[in-house]
Structure 1
């Protein structure tokens, strides 16, 4: 396989755009469409009768091996990623919010939003196997390594767009208490998809003077691709050109919210919320669609020369070489439409007024599906705490999180009227070379 075939994509994406998106901002006391994206029940708490979102961009690069400085430097990144002993996870995750509108009407509230997603992931890759395939360098010349894994390793890329239609209602309200529920129906527009799954791999990798080889190998392989990512998944343009496809899927978010307000009703003492998000799936359809499962079998004197994958830029190219060499046996699937599960999560939060204008938010995101499944879009577990100083037209906050992939991160953000920007990892990046880099910015405003 072409050296850095997937990592080059990740780096290109990082430098032009930089998985808890909008951490700290999506639980702001100033409630807008970003809060609704986190929990549809928050639609009942809109800060203005009418809310408009113009744009928002949030992007994250996270991994469990190399630090921020190594990512920015870019020197020998492939070597650094695959020189450890643990499974390698490296992910790029971006969300782009388009125009959106919401309004309150007595006990009811309504809204819509538009959104695009670009995701690329290296999931649980064995460092020895990754080093051999991407770098063609394992141990010393003449060295051999035997690998036996009981899990699925994946390279995955996905783009899609969505239009969300939200409704919420006050279920119970007094002068100081309010209980609300909401739902968002999402119309899904799948763009492009690529997945290379290597499950239950066992084999021996040998580094000879002239070539790198795999012998005595067995694995369950999944090749799935659709749209632009069928032909290439190296360049960022392969992703950005195909965020919105045709309407081919639906999903839903369900949420509930409780507020305990002060007697002046201007500030709450406690804001509790919980939601189940992204319950649904989408179908990828294109002329070059394919999703096939194979058994890889290299036995006896058979040898797979990894040099054959040099300059290959697509999953289809890898698949064709393995078929030509006679190492693949089809087990199921074919050139047909296939379904992919959205990254379903549970989110819960408590925003507590500590003293006047000072709040503390506790937040968690827990994934509901298995990232190891080939038909699953990736997400991660997150727990965070965010102290915030909140005024009507100004807000300053600092989010600190424990992320499943990148570990501990800390950053800060601010809101001035409707404009906001921030990073959930900038403080730890500057002080301790964190394994995550991210940023977000955007603009929303309210009309009475």
Structure 2
């Protein structure tokens, strides 16, 4: 168990040099397939008749404990993560947008897209329980929690079919609607959760015991992640298990045009994304709910988790302890997608200067065991946008990591940027990200 906690933290830390997906460029005036990932109705504003997406990738990391300066200054980052009283929250979110194609035809625009997704999370992990498992404190601590804490990771692939149509257009206004239907390919999954955990952990000369404990536990796994979080190759399973899920994005878009029809004064949109779920069906699939009960003079030896690096071993230790009873078992299990609402407005300020306001609000509860995660984000992006190039600086308020600021640029179909590099370098930002991509329009 300690190895899983440590490996999860190392995964986040090692990725901290590379974080919010395509922040700033996903609302660019040079409209393309990337904009449609925020709102499918944006396809009606495609800058070219045809667009081919070659490659886009983004890696996002945010946490509420360690900063970029902590990494630069060195020291024991594992101890830094689990110090204090605040529960640990970390999110790793990686996305690869693969080969994709879009085309206009009269008032319609169509697109076919492909993508691969990775999510890994520490969600509301109690520092006292984590430190007990890590064998990193001496003494006793009483724990009484009213929430669910999770260590969770999953991978999947998507193939999307999008359509957008101009509903109304004149010399001043333009209204469009769009939808994306996604085929979901569940890859791999692992979840360890303890809901409403209570108990006393005691460490005397390295002997760590749990007494007077109760919790509702969930242990779920499918595919390669059942074998552990420590091997990065366990996160590269995307399309191999077939189609076992569907999701839908729905959106609307409005443009208030310039009088000479050279562009827009305002481009605004609203979308609901990721409405759907996927079912994991691998040969090693299992999802079990347990009740943990350690009462009276009983004690659970937590040293047994030392050196354990995969979910199946953790489950076996729990079963062998005699302190858990199975409430229910499911062979194939369903995971709901991270449904969220996106709203934005890009305002033409003067000449080539624009300002974009973007809001992302999740409509799911990350603490539920059958849900993938999402973050609440508000971003303001000033940009200097010419026909063939663009420079912009996104500034965000993120649910997990707080305030971040970054910079990016576009040259033709190539772009490179970060939503947090500025704050990562000048203050104690707890987020870092980077993205790049290339697409061709003709």
Match of 2:377 in 1: 382
Q: Report the number of matched residues.
A: 440
- TM-aligned CA deviation for residue 13 of structure 1: 4.5
- TM-aligned CA deviation for residue 421 of structure 1: 0.4
TM-score (norm 2): 0.97
Match of 1:371 in 2: 366
- TM-aligned CA deviation for residue 251 of structure 1: 0.2
The answer to whether structure 1 residue 122 and structure 2 residue 119 are counterparts is: no
TM-score (norm 1): 0.96
Match of 2:408 in 1: 413
Distance, in Å, in 1 between the alignment partners of 2:13 and 2:417 is 21
Match of 1:353 in 2: 348
Residue from 191, 204, 212 that aligns with 2:200 = 204
Asked whether the 8 Å contact 2:19–2:419 carries over to 1, the reply is: no
> 1:88-138, CA deviations, whole angstroms, 9 ceiling, x for partnerless residues?
1011110001000001100111001100001100001111112222x2123
The answer to whether structure 1 residue 287 and structure 2 residue 264 are counterparts is: no
Match of 2:387 in 1: 392
Aligned pairs (5 A) from 1:417-436: 417-436=412-431
Distance, in Å, in 1 between the alignment partners of 2:432 and 2:93 is 11
Q: SS at 2:370's partner residue?
A: coil
> 1:167-218, CA deviations, whole angstroms, 9 ceiling, x for partnerless residues?
0100000012100000000000010000111100000011110311111100
Aligned pairs (5 A) from 1:82-93: 82-93=82-93
Q: SS at 2:60's partner residue?
A: strand
Residue from 167, 173, 176 that aligns with 2:172 = 176
Distance, in Å, in 2 between the alignment partners of 1:59 and 1:244 is 22
- TM-aligned CA deviation for residue 233 of structure 1: 1.8
Asked whether the 8 Å contact 1:94–1:117 carries over to 2, the reply is: yes
Asked whether the 8 Å contact 2:51–2:440 carries over to 1, the reply is: yes
Residue from 332, 351, 355 that aligns with 1:337 = 332
Match of 1:97 in 2: 97
Q: SS at 1:215's partner residue?
A: strand
> 1:18-38, CA deviations, whole angstroms, 9 ceiling, x for partnerless residues?
273111101000001000111
The answer to whether structure 1 residue 11 and structure 2 residue 19 are counterparts is: no
The answer to whether structure 1 residue 311 and structure 2 residue 307 are counterparts is: yes
- TM-aligned CA deviation for residue 232 of structure 1: 1.5
- TM-aligned CA deviation for residue 391 of structure 1: 0.3
- Structure 1 residues 399 and 266, CA gap change in structure 2 (3 angstroms): same
> What 5-or-longer segments of structure 2 have no aligned partner?
none
> What 5-or-longer segments of structure 1 have no aligned partner?
none
Q: SS at 2:422's partner residue?
A: helix
Match of 1:136 in 2: 135
- TM-aligned CA deviation for residue 9 of structure 1: 3.1
Distance, in Å, in 2 between the alignment partners of 1:158 and 1:397 is 32
